[in-house]
Homo-oligomer: A and B are copies of this chain.
């Protein structure tokens, strides 16, 4: 079990026929009794947000942070589908709510897959009764749910945090934006901790900022990204600080699994910026370096060309003094006070040849720190993304 490990939740997965392969393509996570519990969610900031994101946002606003279920479909993003697509997303919630005995606005909906195609609503509507009927708290139900949300992922992505007498569980999909046809990042989390819905929204925002939002493979923002967290309260009150830790750990684990699953990538790189004017500026500078095509190419080639890193820092739109900057690879300083520093070239070469690259940039201006995790840019990325077929 994973997503159903926290007390009070059931799950299921079903092959409705959205995917031509016949693989599982619907998933459900719901409260055991269908009654609403505190629910929080974060969504893509993309103004071209897909229909299910628009509908889920409206439902979350209407249900006052109290929800019963999430339905996920995979194989088609229901994005760029207009008013018809929004009606389809709403209809999915209606049908689930009718079967669970809750209100439609207590159900959120996520979809992931190709952009620009209407959902095959006939097979989805035909499949939902089976999806709901087969829900359960056992191992097989949890596995089928975690499988039903996948697209190009190489395998299930699940994480569990065990607190003292309570747990947080998560399941996710996403291969680091490296298979953009199915690029969406989705994560559904459950916990049995008792948390007020307003506190739940706050802590989810913090956890997502520090995990999923600190990861960037290609800087593209999906139309469908969604993270949902449900809290059954079955384990009773838990110190909110502990809940933040637990949710953050589960999000971090899922984010790491997504980065590791980035198709076409051969290396992961952690870009850390310290000494910035603020944490926000550090994060922005780290993201500019992490999203630079030139820097990502140099990771691919294992080339410690710090000049590119410094050039990106200088154009990140943050406070910057060239004469104070330092850069290190794998703990070896290669640039100090803005100029080349004598260093152990063999040690740097050995670090760059590995699969995890650690780049640290010190701006020498303040206390701001930030980190963004990315991957290298090689032929594999191109090959994955030059066509949809």
A298–B385 CA distance with the chains assembled, in angstroms: 7
User: What are some 24 contacts across the A-B interface (CB < 8 A)?
Assistant: A47-B313, A47-B314, A48-B313, A49-B314, A80-B306, A80-B322, A81-B339, A84-B339, A85-B339, A115-B305, A117-B340, A220-B294, A220-B311, A221-B311, A221-B314, A221-B315, A222-B311, A223-B307, A223-B310, A223-B314, A293-B385, A301-B387, A303-B387, A378-B386
Pick from B48, B218, B325: contact of A315, CB under 8 Å: B48
A308 CB–B CB distance under 8 Å = yes
A311–B49 CA distance with the chains assembled, in angstroms: 8
**Which A residues from 184 to 238 make CB contacts under 8 A with B?**
218-223
A298–B389 CA distance with the chains assembled, in angstroms: 11
A310–B77 CA distance with the chains assembled, in angstroms: 13
Tell me whether A307 and B339 are in contact in the complex, defined as CB-CB below 8 angstroms, given that A49-B322, A297-B381, A320-B47 are known contacts: no
How many chain A residues touch B (CB < 8 A): the figure is: 64
B48 touches A322 (CB 8 A): yes
A37 CB–B CB distance under 8 Å = no
A291 CB to nearest B CB, Å:
8
A248–B379 CA distance with the chains assembled, in angstroms: 37
A46 touches B307 (CB 8 A): no
Pick from B218, B303, B382: contact of A386, CB under 8 Å: B303
A223–B305 CA distance with the chains assembled, in angstroms: 14
A339–B78 CA distance with the chains assembled, in angstroms: 10
A337–B83 CA distance with the chains assembled, in angstroms: 10
- Taking CB atoms, residues of chain B closer than 8 Å to A83 are 323
How many copies, total?
2
Pick from B46, B114, B223, B308: contact of A180, CB under 8 Å: B308
B307 touches A218 (CB 8 A): no
A294 nearest CB neighbor, chain B only:
B180
A45–B316 CA distance with the chains assembled, in angstroms: 10
**What is the 8 Å Cβ interface bit string for chain A, positions 82-97, against chain B (1 contact, 0 not)?**
1111000000000000
A residues lining the B interface (CB < 8 Å): 45-49, 77, 79-85, 114-117, 180-181, 183, 218-223, 292-294, 297-298, 300-303, 305-308, 310-315, 320, 322-323, 325, 335, 337-340, 377-379, 381-382, 385-389
A274 CB to nearest B CB, Å:
17
Pick from B80, B312, B315, B338: contact of A82, CB under 8 Å: B338
A252–B46 CA distance with the chains assembled, in angstroms: 33
A219–B317 CA distance with the chains assembled, in angstroms: 14
Give 19 A-B pairs besides A223-B310, A294-B385 with Cβ atoms closer than 8 angstroms: A45-B315, A47-B314, A47-B320, A48-B314, A48-B338, A77-B307, A80-B307, A81-B339, A116-B307, A180-B308, A183-B294, A219-B293, A220-B312, A221-B314, A223-B314, A298-B387, A303-B387, A377-B382, A378-B386
A313–B223 CA distance with the chains assembled, in angstroms: 11
- Taking CB atoms, residues of chain B closer than 8 Å to A46 are 311, 314-315
Closest 3 pairs (CB-CB, A-B): A48-B314, A115-B307, A301-B386
B338 touches A220 (CB 8 A): no
A313 nearest CB neighbor, chain B only:
B48
A292 CB to nearest B CB, Å:
6
